[in-house]
Structure 1
């Protein structure tokens, strides 16, 4: 009897244990299913979700893509991938991870969507990595419209109107310094381009020349490179912004980007803080930083907001100009006939025997040089993709129905290199821009963005390019030091991007440069 009772009790306990185990397994499985479904919702592109109105989205054709990752492999091909995307038509639907990217493959559509539909295509998507972590949600170029608008107003105050006249004086002086550096140290031509660009924007922002021996700018430049190298579609995790909603302990990828964010903050702070202290001590000259960023009531942001705003202007204003000058020198070496045609235009204006340096007063007389500037941005684009414009409400457009949250992005590669759109796209041909709009750098060129989000400093950049290219073409020749592959160049390096030797045109031009430098010092 006791034995039978013991057996019954044992069976009962086993059944109970099994029941508990079964409930635990079922519960775990249920949690796993819930987690998978929740993760699926986080990774689901907006066009795969039901419309709140019940209407079906209607999107342009595009590649089928892979489950979850979408067309990431296609974007990883760089310009080759951009050309493949354009094969689907004037507008292509793609998925960058869980993001819906509708690619604009023509000038017409870029104008329609970015400019004429700008009231609803002015947004920016959420960038958990490159904005929140690397930029501490302070870089205005990535901020949504509500947070971007005041920063835009402040930057516009700096880079437009009567202020441009004063800045032309800075550009003129620093351009003469550039010529002298080329004369004294021709092998460091790429460094002189960087010094010019940094010096001009530093004077505009802070009212004085930077200390050329100050190494802190190198860290600022490195911070900018890290920002550019992690912008979509280059950063995998920003292609899945929904993952930022996961508990932080599950976001194993955060640590690396938090470290970049700390490096960026420290680099900015080391550069900015001495300037801020001089302003507060009353020892700084009048400047944008003093009067607008740190001035009472001019900009309502926090101290960190002010630092990022000033440093963003400094880094953005220097690098694009440097890269564009480098690219023109590449064109001068690989397409010497175009270089000589630009020189002939300047010789007709200034004299072919070093009579005088080109000046800003010659801008209206040099359409071919302006065409060269536009061709720089088409021939060797600095950016394959520029930040996307996010749709802030549902949009019906040319038979399509796009959901709020659609990201529109310009296909710079196709617009610039498609042989159906561009004659001999591989050649540097400024003649293609001689259409009466040579001085309108935004006409047909999208590297500065477009619509309400267009770069506020594009006019400043254009003037810097005009004065420097005019004077370099007029005074110097360029030749390759050794053979090199001009199709495979890392333009973002701070070292020499390609082997080039600049030489002054003649002793008369060297003397012209020296005399200009003496006059600049006397002034």
Structure 2
């Protein structure tokens, strides 16, 4: 009996001791978390944060940009969140965005390094690099775009040639329902392939089609809830199975694709006659090997891949929205075709010089960009030094999200913000630029491919409107729902391209 009571007391004490220990550890971690999250005076307001997870589970990552608009209404044009371990400040409104990217541009020039990008590219490449690496990679990329096409007739001719292939491929569908996604992404990617690799790929190339599907899947997963979970809790998610692990497997395959072209170029390149971006990079690599620069093979692969990704997904997604909107708004499509018939006719090839004479078509393309809203929160920035902004204190390292969704749907800026209306970009029948239209961002980190994208959108879109009328399949209603990823794209759809006689 005594032994039994002794054993019972011992067991009870051990259980009590274990509970006490666990409670002490949890309390300690909770206090550390509270102290770590203590914000400085005048930090932007925001919703209440939970310990460890912050506001992660208050944000629906399938429609992040829409959820944040509710916070704007409650907390104003500058508010804060915590997504896992990352402090975030969201900025809305044209005056504040302009102040950030013009008057205080040095304080917001850096990209925020997410854990996903840190694991895939490290500090290499063009999109998320900072400092000397970013300056060198951007300089070389701009030089390549100039030397291998941008602003030159050769690039316009390349887009026109690719347009011919695209029209031919769509024409083979015979007016029957088809999914335009792969054809559009193939056409757009071929322009960037011309600049980076010096060649294009046929639409029947199964291997390249698989690569494009891999590219699309990776971009979607990066912005999906699984990708955001990894960004919020990388130390845990790194060891857990799930869709996020596919991001890193896919990225490895994409790097192998670029590596293959680098190896081919290294075998037959001529430093005196560079053909494309890879050749230009190899020239930089061979200059004075003792100098400290970012011109190395890791950056060559990362920057080439960044150019390929950025120059493919954004423009192809915009064109997907464009065809969808034209099928949903047939009267607007007809107005575009009337203008095309008057200015270009049925047979002559579309040229960039036609743009000035086609204000309505130009306005429709801009309205597609506004409503399609493919980069709803811009590319994230990081505060480079402790900064006073709009009366708030922003600590160094804070992630900054620019609320382009609020800007492009602001009722103070647009007459019918929720309606597809090309008149937003027209005044007395002429095209009108809008200061509150920033799909390519602004400032030093604005999209360096803006002119290329504008050229592609005008030529591809106008040529497709010239040759086809796009309609929904019989007895079907097309949806304007979106699919959230790094790029906001329409959900998969089928469409009919009826040849115009």
Instruction: Give me the TM-score of the superposition, normalised by structure 1.
Output: 0.78
Cα distance, 1:306 vs structure 2: 1.2
Match of 1:92 among 79, 83, 89: 79
| SS at 2:87 equivalent | strand
Q: How far apart are the structure 1 equivalents of 2:255 and 2:304?
A: 9
- Residue 328 (structure 1) aligns with: 322
Cα contact 2:328–2:478 (8 A) shared by 1: no
2:374 is the counterpart of 1:388: no
Length, aligned pairs only: 472
C-alpha distance in structure 1 between counterparts of 2:488 and 2:400, whole Å? 29
SS state of the match for residue 268, structure 2? coil
Match status 1:486 vs 2:472: no
Taking the aligned partners of 2:184 and 2:47, their CA distance within structure 1 comes to 42
1:159 corresponds to: 145
Looking at structure 2, the residues matched to 217 and 475 of structure 1 have their Cα atoms a distance apart, in angstroms, of 24
Q: How many angstroms apart in 1 are the aligned matches of 2:34 and 2:219?
A: 24
The higher radius of gyration belongs to 1
1:229 aligns with 2:206: no
1:310 corresponds, among 304, 309, 320, to: 304
- Displacement of 1:327: 0.7
Equivalence map 1:257-272=2 (5 Å):
257=244, 260-269=247-256, 271-272=257-258
Q: Give the conservation status (yes or no) of the 8 Å contact 1:317–1:457.
A: yes
Q: Note closer, same or farther for the CA distance 1:205–1:315 as it changes in structure 2 (3 Å cut).
A: same
2:392 aligned residue: 400
Instruction: Within 5 Å, give how 1:289-438 maps onto structure 2.
Output: 289-297=277-285, 300-351=294-345, 354=346, 356-434=348-426
2:471 matches 1:476:
no
User: What are the equivalent positions in structure 2 for 1:211-226 lying under 5 Å apart?
Assistant: 211-212=202-203, 213-216=205-208, 218-219=210-211, 221-223=213-215, 225-226=217-218
Residues 34-74 of structure 1, C-alpha deviation per residue, up to 9 Å, x if partnerless? Answer: 7864686578666x24xxxxxx5213433334443333234
- Identify which of 62, 65, 85 aligns with 2:46: 62
- Kindly state the Cα deviation for residue 466 of structure 1 after the two structures are TM-superposed: 0.5
Per mean C-alpha deviation after superposition, the further-off stretch among 458-467 and 190-199 is 190-199
For 2:247 and 2:229, locate their aligned partners in 1 and report how far apart those are by CA, in whole Å: 15
Q: Which residue of 2 aligns with 1:498?
A: 493
Q: Could you say what the CA RMSD is over the residues aligned between the two structures, in angstroms?
A: 3.7
Paired residue secondary structure (1:208): coil
Cα shift at 1:420: 4.9
CA spacing shift, 1:171–1:396, aligned 2, 3 Å: same
1:480 is displaced (CA, Å) by 0.7
- Are positions 1:143 and 2:134 aligned together? no
Instruction: Give the 3 Å change call, closer, same or farther, for CA 41–204 of structure 1 in structure 2.
Output: farther
5+ unaligned residues in a row in structure 1: which ranges? 1-13, 50-55, 507-523
Change in Cα spacing, 1:370 to 1:105, as seen in structure 2 (3 Å) is same
| C-alpha contact 2:33 2:52 (8 A) present in aligned 1 | no
C-alpha distance 173-488 of structure 1, shift in aligned 2 (>3 A): same
1:481 positional shift: 0.5
- Superposed CA offset, 1:217-271 (max 9, x none): 5235424532442248763445546x64xxx9x95338975663243123321x2
- Which of 185, 189, 198 is the aligned partner of 1:198? 189
In structure 2, do the counterparts of structure 1 residues 57 and 154 end up closer, same or farther at CA, with 3 Å as the change threshold? farther
Is the partner of 1:155 in helix, strand or coil?
helix
**What SS does the aligned partner of 2:470 have?**
strand
Work out which of the residue numbers 449, 452, 477 in structure 2 matches 1:457.
449
Structure 2 residue runs without a partner (length 5+): 1-5, 288-292
Structure 2 SS opposite 1:294? helix
Alpha carbons of 1:238 and 1:107: their partners in 2 closer, same or farther (altered >3 Å)? Answer: farther
CA deviations over 1:253-297 (Å, ceiling 9, x no partner): 38975663243123321x224322322221798432342222243
Q: Which residue of 2 is the match for residue 181 of structure 1?
A: 169
* Cα deviation 1:332-371 (Å, max 9, x = unaligned): 11112222222232233124xx252321121222222222
Secondary structure at 2:89 match in 1 = strand
**Partners of 2:232 and 2:316 in 1: CA distance:** 33
- Could you tell me how far 1:330 is from its partner in structure 2? 1.0
SS of 1:92 mapped into structure 2: strand
Distance 1:32 1:417 in 2: 49
TM-score norm. by structure 2 comes to: 0.81
- Name the CA shift for 1:327/1:263 in 2 (closer, same or farther; >3 Å): closer
